[in-house]
DNA sequence: GGAATAACTGCACCGGGTCCAACAATTAGA
DNA sequence: TCTAATTGTTGGACCCGGTGCAGTTATTCC
């Protein structure tokens, strides 16, 4: 399958590890790509073979959760109510995050000085999640403005989920499961949209 | 009040207009700050006296709406239910956007090629709105996890509102009022959170 | 006619990101 | 075994957004 070609000398995880160290040592802003590449033993350009941008390093885990969410969405049984389906898929995805090991970026964002960067680059990620929910939801809703409602539900649910993830990460190593935080805020949103539109 | 000092030679609106023209002519990405400043008749550095970054140009109207939202929030009568208060303030803010004149960025984002940039820089703005709602809401909710719920509600409502704004802008010049789009999706979110938490 | 003040300008610099032409290491096939 | 195709790596040049600063210009107050 992998045919000819020079084998990869440095792996993605090595760059991630080097970056995490440097971010913790001296903060995100003061760490240059040059330094990350150097610690990983590769050239600056090679970094860009593995990551499209510096901020991509912050979102590795979350990007993985999007794949998990997409898989959970297609696995929803057809006879389930669409809104319950979304809740089901979200809980399923949340189970992938063990209570003990929250992503480093979420727990150490203060020492990394990374909050500005998270704000600056987070929306693209969030919208990717929302798009996944929306594409699941849109064809399964009825009514004239199903597309509009699907997008609104997707974005609203995602907002609630973001709050849950933030709370979960902030709760420290003895935190409850992400799932329990999630259900407390996702469920209300979905029940609000459960009844067909009145007007 | 304005004492001594050299008077401003070029105004913010002039830079905005020059930028809008260039974005429409050749797209956002291919327009440099140098070009914008040149068309407005100032130096590149002067641009940064008026805008902190290139992307700030895209959010002028939305930034104004945040001020409007904050003012609407503090004007809410104390006897109103907090969640109804949020809805009230949002509708109030929406009325500031006439149906005929949606912001250029929202209607022309395709020809400006600006969607990537909106995704890249939109979260900071969205969170500013959410923070405003959250700070209004948090002290007015009861229960153990009032802070958590306040943030979740703020983010969820904002997601729904974003969907409404998007739909409104996409609907073309004969669109209905933003308010009508807004209430269709914001209300369900708030009703979902209306009942006190069960557990 | 000076100070004091505030806007404007030019210049140098940093760092993220792109592009490209070389080069190195591997495999498939003649 | 030699060669070609393939793929990863590297260095260098470049663009542009953004920052810092020192110096200039235009204005008001005394």
Sequential DSSP letters for A32-84: -HHHHHHHHTS-HHHHHHH-SSGGGGGGHHHHHHHHHHHHHHHTS-TTS-HHH
Residue B199 lies in a domain: no
Cα B37 to Cα B48: distance, rounded to the nearest angstrom? 10
- Domain carrying residue A105: 58-194
The pLDDT-based confidence of A195 (bands split at 50, 70, 90) is low
Q: Is the dihedral of CA B75, B77, B81, B82 positive or negative?
A: positive
The pLDDT-based confidence of B102 (bands split at 50, 70, 90) is confident
Q: Considering the entire predicted model, what is its pTM?
A: 0.92
Cα B168 to Cα B31: distance, rounded to the nearest angstrom? 27
Residues B91-117 have a mean pLDDT of 92
Considering the domain architecture, whether residues B28 and B112 belong to the same structural domain is answered as no
Q: What is the pLDDT of residues B121-137, one digit of tens each?
A: 999 999 999 999 999 99
Q: Which residues of B touch A (CB under 8 A)?
A: 119-124, 126-127, 130, 145, 148-149, 151-160, 162-164, 166-167, 181, 184-185, 187-193, 195, 197, 199
Q: What is the pLDDT of residues A105-148, one digit of tens each?
A: 999 999 999 999 999 999 999 999 999 999 999 999 999 899 99
Considering the domain architecture, whether residues B119 and B21 belong to the same structural domain is answered as no
Number of separate domains in chain A: 2
Considering the domain architecture, whether residues B164 and B177 belong to the same structural domain is answered as yes
pLDDT of residue A98: 82
Searching chain A, which residue's CA lies closest to the CA of residue B196? Answer: A188
Q: Which protein residue's Cα is closest to nucleotide C7 at C1'?
A: B6
HSE of B51 in the Cβ direction (CA atoms, 13 Å)? 22
Residue A3 lies in a domain: no
- Residue B8 CA distance to nucleotide C9 C1' (Å): 14
Cα A186 to Cα A47: distance, rounded to the nearest angstrom? 38
Searching chain B, which residue's CA lies closest to the CA of residue A168? Answer: B148
Cα A21 to Cα A111: distance, rounded to the nearest angstrom? 12
Tokens representing B75?
A: 């004007």
Considering the domain architecture, whether residues B47 and B97 belong to the same structural domain is answered as no
SS3 readout for B20-34: HHHHHHHCCCCCCHH
Residue A109 lies in a domain: yes
Query: CB A120 to CB B121 under 8 A?
Result: yes
Contact B124, A120 (CB under 8 A): yes
Considering the domain architecture, whether residues A40 and A63 belong to the same structural domain is answered as no
Q: What is the pLDDT of residues A45-103, one digit of tens each?
A: 999 999 999 999 999 999 999 999 999 999 999 999 999 999 999 999 999 988 777 89
Considering the domain architecture, whether residues B74 and B40 belong to the same structural domain is answered as no
The pLDDT-based confidence of A42 (bands split at 50, 70, 90) is very high
Kindly report the CATH number assigned to the domain that includes residue A24. 1.10.10.60
């Amino acid at each position: 399958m992998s045919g000819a070609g020079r084998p990869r000398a440095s792996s993605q995880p090595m760059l991630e590890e080097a970056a995490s160290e440097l971010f913790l040592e001296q903060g995100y802003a003061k760490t240059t790509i040059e330094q990350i590449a150097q610690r990983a033993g590769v050239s600056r350009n090679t970094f860009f073979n593995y990551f499209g941008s510096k901020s991509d390093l912050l979102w590795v885990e979350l990007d993985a959760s999007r794949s998990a969410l997409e898989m959970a969405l297609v696995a929803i049984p057809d006879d389930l109510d669409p809104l319950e389906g979304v809740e089901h898929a979200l809980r399923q995805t949340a189970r992938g995050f063990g209570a003990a090991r929250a992503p480093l970026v979420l727990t150490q964002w203060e020492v990394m000085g990374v909050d500005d960067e998270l704000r600056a680059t987070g929306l693209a990620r969030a919208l990717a999640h929302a798009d996944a929910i929306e594409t699941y939801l849109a064809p399964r809703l009825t009514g004239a403005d199903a597309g509009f409602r699907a997008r609104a539900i997707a974005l609203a649910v995602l907002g609630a989920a973001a709050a849950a993830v933030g709370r979960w990460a902030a709760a420290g190593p003895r935190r409850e499961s992400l799932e329990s935080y999630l259900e407390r805020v996702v469920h209300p949103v979905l029940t609000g949209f459960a009844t067909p539109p009145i007007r």
